[in-house]
Structure 1
C-alpha cells in the first residue's frame, strides 16, 4: 500500500512519492512528469473511450474534449462531451485515475491514500468536489487529505533547510492565483494570511491573445474566429504557444494559415508579429488584479513589504516576465525563481504524503500564542484581545461584541483557511461561507456562522409575518452579505404549509424552529419544526452543488 502526493492542476497535474528521502515526481506513460489536465471522450466507435493527458491534448476534437475543469469545481454544471454530461468531479476523477494508474505501475503496489493539493482560496464547495472526485475512485474520506497549494510549495522550499523566514508564496497557476504569507521556522509553517483570485490564471492570459487576434481578424475580414468551435480551439492552441514564446523572447510570430472554417470562408492568420510589450499591454488589467491580491494579503497580515524576507514564485503563470516584474516592482526586491515553478507544489505534496513531520500553525498578531487549529486560534484572539476593535495591525474595524469579532476575524483574516495539521494527517474543516435563511426586508439571517468547526448545527425560531399566512417559505442561502440576501448564493427554496398543521389555539401564533446541520462532506440538513405541534419536515441540501433531497415529513412523537 502506498500514499501518493498529487498536484491536481488546472492545466497540468503531477503525482509524486518520497524516494531515498527526496521527493520524486513519477513519469507517466509518455515519459513526462507533468500530465495535461485534459480529458477526451472518444465516441467514434460507439464505446465512448476516455483518454487523459497528452493524447487528449492532440485529439483535435474540441466538442468531446474537456479542459480546465478545475475552474468549474464547486459549480452545479454539466459539461457535455462524448454524447454524455459530466460533472466537474467526474472529469477530475478521470485525471486522478490516470495519475494513480501510472503511479501504481511504477511503484508496483496499490495506492490507498492520497494527499491532493487545492488552492488555499478554494471554497468549501470546491474542496467538496475535489474530495468527491477521489471518492468516485473508491477512496474513503479518511484516506483523502487536502493540502493547500501554497503550504505544499513552502514545504518543498524549506525541506531539509534550516530556514527562519517570513515568506510570501505567490502561486499563479493555469486557473487560479493563491497568495499566502507564512512564517517558516524549521518544520513549522505558521500561516499568517491568505488571499487570491480563483477566477484568474494563465488561461486568462491566453484568452487575451485570442481576443486580440480575433478582434483584429473580425475588423479586417468581417468574420469572428470565435464563432466556430473548432476554429476557436485551434486559435487558443496557437495563442498558448505564442504566450510561452513571449516568456523567453521579446517577440513571436503567429503563422496559422488554416485555423478553421466559418461558413464557406477559410480562417487563417499569417505573419502576425506579436511583441512582449503588446502582450503586456493587453493583460494590464490582469496584472493589476494580481497586484490587488498581493496588497490584500499584506493588509490581512498587517505587514509591509519590508517585513517579507522572500517571495516564492510558484506555478507556470509566474514564468511570465510581466508577472515577475509586477511582483518585483510591488515588493521592492527580486522574487525567488530558483525553484522548479511547475513542480514545487507536487514536490511538497510528495513530502507530506511521505509522512514528514511538518506542522502548519497560526500566529497571534498581538502576542506569542500559536495554534494549529484556526478555531482555537480565533477563540484566543477573541478571549485575550477582544476589546471591541480588531487586534490585527492595520485593521480599523470595530466589530464590538465577541460573536461579531469572531465573524469579522473569519471573514477578513481567515479567508477560506482550513486548518491542516500535517504531521497528524488531520484536517479540521470549518464553515467557510455563512449559511442562513431569508427574513423580512430582503435580509439574510445567519444560522451557521463562517468559521464554525464542522460538524456544525444551530437552531433559530421564526414566526409568520402575517397571522393569516398560509405558508412559510424557507430559503437557504450561502454567503456573507446579511443585508441583501440576493448578494448570496441561493442553494434551495421550499416552504411549510401552515394550513396543514394541527389546529393551534387562536391566540397562539405558530413558531417554526429551523435547524441547519452541516457535515464534513458539505451536506446540509435543514429541519423545520413547529414548536407547539411537533410537526416537522426535513430537506437535505448538498452544498457541493449536487442538488438536494426531500423534503420529508415527520410526525410528532407521541
Structure 2
C-alpha cells in the first residue's frame, strides 16, 4: 500500500535528519539545523538545564553527551559525562522533542504527516525497538508499531526507487547495502525485481556496534601515542577525562577533513599541546582492523541471505541451503551473486571504505549516492511513499504469542534472529525453536496462537485464503514452534501432531492498516512428522486424529 504522505525521521548517533514526501512529488529534506539540514545528536548538561543540538556543541567538551542512541544499542539506562551519570532516556526524549520542534518550525509538523517512520539499526531487538517507540511517543511523535524500519533497508529502498524510475537504469538482482554511521554498522542484502514498479525482498539484515565511534577511539589512541613520543602522557595529566574528550573532538574533525585531504593539522583547542600532523595513511592504519571485521559481517549477511532461498526437488518439494553447504561455499560463490553495492552513512565518505568494498566486489556496480548524499539516504528511504507496500522482510517484525485461559507467553519476540552465529558454523540445519517443555504454559487444554505488533496491535492471519485472528493449538509437553529461514513455520501440538505452514516473506506491518500474515499449508519436510488438519483442530471437542 502506497502512502499519500510520509515523513521520515533518521534519529542518528551523530546527526538527525527529517524528510517529507507527498505522493510522487520530489522528496524534501526538511532543514532542522541552524545552518545545515541536520541537527547534531548531542546534548550537554549546563547546571540543571539539558541543552541539545548546536547549543550543546558550544559547551565545554567535558559537559557534552555524544552518541546517546548507543544507550539503546548497549541496553544502558545511564550516560556518563566525566564523573556524572545522567538518565539516557531523558536525553533521548529531549533530542527527539527538539527534532519535532524544529520540523514544525520549518513548516513540517509531525502531527500533519500522513505516516511517520523512524529508522533503527538492523541489529536491534524487539525490546530495543519498543524502547525507542515509547521514547518517541513521549516526545510527541505519532508513532505505532508500524513506524520502525531497519536503516539499511530504508537506504536500499531509496536507492532502488531512484534507479528504477530512471530511463534505462532499472536494476534487477541482488543489492548489498553497507551502512556505516556513527554508532552501528548495518548490512542488508536485498533482491530487486519487478517490471513497472520495484518489488523488493529483504534476504538478510544484520549489524554490529562498531562504526564511527569505534574509529574515533582508534584515532585517539594514535594521537595519544604521538603525544607520548613528545613527553605528554594523558594518564599523568591533572584532568584526563577532559583531555580525552578534547582529543575525541580532534579525532572527529581529523576524520572528516581527511575525506578530501591527504593530511590534517590537529589542534587540540583548550590544551597547550604541540601541533600534530595526522595523515590519511594513519587513518587507514587505524581503520583497517575495523573494516577487516566489517568484511566478516558482510560474509555473514551473504550466507544468511542464501538460507532464505528455496531449492526445488524432483518430487515437487523444496529444500533450503544447509549451513554445511554454505560453509563449503567459498567467498567467490557469495560475492559473485551481488550486482550492486550501495554505501551509505557518514563513514562512507571516507575514501578507504569505497576502495575496500570495490575490491571485495569487483564485478558489482558500487554506488556512494542514491538521489541524495550518503548521510541522507536513510531518511530519504524512510519518507518514501510508494515502495513499502511491496517490501518483503526476511524475518517476523511482530510477536507470536501463545495464549491460554489464565495467561500467555511470547514464544517469538519480534526481530529475534532465527539462529545464533555459532549454530551456522556447527549445525546441519538452523531455525528458531520454542518448546513447551521448560516453559510456563499448561500441559493440557487448548491454546490460541496470535500474532501482534510490538506495540500490541493484532495482526490478522490468512491461511490458504481463509482469514483468522488466531490459530488453536492443543497444549501439552510435546508442543513446539519453529521458524525457518525460508519462511516455513512448523508447529507441533500437545499430542505430537505436526503441521507445516509457509510465508513467502515476512511483510511490513503498515500503520493504520496492518498487513495480513498470509500463510499456506505445505507438506512437512522429511523428519518433521505429518501435518494435522488445522481446520479440524479448530474444534475444541475434536477426538484424537486417527493414525496414518
Bigger mean CA deviation after superposition, 339-348 or 293-302? 293-302
Call closer, same or farther: CA 1:39–1:341 in 2, change over 3 Å.
Answer: same
Cα contact 1:147–1:420 (8 A) shared by 2: no
Call closer, same or farther: CA 1:450–1:85 in 2, change over 3 Å.
Answer: farther
Cα contact 2:431–2:483 (8 A) shared by 1: no
Does residue 9 of structure 2 align to residue 6 of structure 1? yes
CA distance in 2, matches of 1:216, 1:68: 26
CA offset at residue 247 of structure 1?
Answer: 1.4
CA offset at residue 82 of structure 1?
Answer: 11
Ranges in structure 1 where 5+ consecutive residues have no aligned partner: 261-266, 364-370, 377-393, 409-418, 429-445, 461-558
Structure 1 counterpart SS, 2:34 = coil
CA offset at residue 301 of structure 1?
Answer: 2.1
**Partner residue in 1 for 2:178:** 170
Structure 1 counterpart SS, 2:267 = strand
**Partner residue in 1 for 2:49:** 49
Structure 2 counterpart SS, 1:343 = helix
* Superposition TM-score, scaled by structure 2 size: 0.62
| 1:20-59 map, 5 Å | 21-28=25-32, 30-43=34-47, 48-59=48-59
Ranges in structure 2 where 5+ consecutive residues have no aligned partner: 165-169, 307-332, 401-423, 435-450, 461-478, 495-548
CA distance in 2, matches of 1:134, 1:448: 33
CA offset at residue 142 of structure 1?
Answer: 2.7
**Partner residue in 1 for 2:263:** 251
CA distance in 1, matches of 2:6, 2:54: 25
Aligned residues between the structures: 382
CA offset at residue 29 of structure 1?
Answer: 5.2
Bigger mean CA deviation after superposition, 110-119 or 135-144? 135-144
Structure 1 counterpart SS, 2:248 = helix
1:243-284 Cα offsets, whole Å, 9 max, x none, are 11211122222234x543xxxxxx4131x2222122211222
Call closer, same or farther: CA 1:250–1:114 in 2, change over 3 Å.
Answer: same
CA distance in 1, matches of 2:8, 2:459: 16
CA distance in 2, matches of 1:317, 1:236: 16
CA distance in 2, matches of 1:114, 1:362: 19
| 1:335-484 map, 5 Å | 335-339=366-370, 340-351=373-384, 354=385, 358-362=389-393, 397-399=427-429, 405-407=431-433
1:151-209 Cα offsets, whole Å, 9 max, x none, are 11111112252432310000011111011100122332101122321x21112112211
Does residue 252 of structure 2 align to residue 240 of structure 1? yes
Structure 2 counterpart SS, 1:157 = helix
Call closer, same or farther: CA 1:343–1:298 in 2, change over 3 Å.
Answer: same
**Partner residue in 2 for 1:15:** 18
Cα contact 2:15–2:38 (8 A) shared by 1: yes
**Partner residue in 2 for 1:71:** 70
Call closer, same or farther: CA 1:31–1:254 in 2, change over 3 Å.
Answer: closer
**Partner residue in 1 for 2:134:** 132
CA distance in 2, matches of 1:420, 1:289: 36
CA offset at residue 240 of structure 1?
Answer: 1.1
Call closer, same or farther: CA 1:329–1:223 in 2, change over 3 Å.
Answer: same
Q: Which has the higher strand share?
A: 1
CA offset at residue 332 of structure 1?
Answer: 1.6
**Partner residue in 2 for 1:332:** 362
Does residue 299 of structure 2 align to residue 295 of structure 1? yes
CA offset at residue 62 of structure 1?
Answer: 2.2
Call closer, same or farther: CA 1:127–1:362 in 2, change over 3 Å.
Answer: closer
CA distance in 1, matches of 2:262, 2:109: 47
Cα contact 1:16–1:346 (8 A) shared by 2: yes
* Superposition TM-score, scaled by structure 1 size: 0.61
CA distance in 2, matches of 1:202, 1:215: 20
CA distance in 1, matches of 2:95, 2:483: 32
**Partner residue in 1 for 2:501:** none
CA offset at residue 374 of structure 1?
Answer: 8.8
CA distance in 2, matches of 1:207, 1:373: 34
CA distance in 2, matches of 1:85, 1:355: 43
Structure 1 counterpart SS, 2:123 = coil
Cα contact 2:11–2:118 (8 A) shared by 1: yes
| 1:140-289 map, 5 Å | 142=144, 145-159=147-161, 161=164, 162-185=170-193, 186-197=197-208, 199-224=209-234, 228-256=240-268, 258-260=269-271, 267-270=272-275, 272-289=276-293
Call closer, same or farther: CA 1:72–1:375 in 2, change over 3 Å.
Answer: closer
1:490-512 Cα offsets, whole Å, 9 max, x none, are xxxxxxxxxxxxxxxxxxxxxxx
Cα contact 1:24–1:350 (8 A) shared by 2: no
**Partner residue in 2 for 1:313:** 343
Call closer, same or farther: CA 1:304–1:449 in 2, change over 3 Å.
Answer: closer
Cα contact 2:192–2:198 (8 A) shared by 1: yes
CA distance in 2, matches of 1:99, 1:248: 30
Cα contact 1:170–1:180 (8 A) shared by 2: yes
Cα contact 1:5–1:114 (8 A) shared by 2: yes
Call closer, same or farther: CA 1:237–1:447 in 2, change over 3 Å.
Answer: farther
| 1:518-533 map, 5 Å | none
Does residue 94 of structure 2 align to residue 100 of structure 1? no
Structure 1 counterpart SS, 2:147 = strand
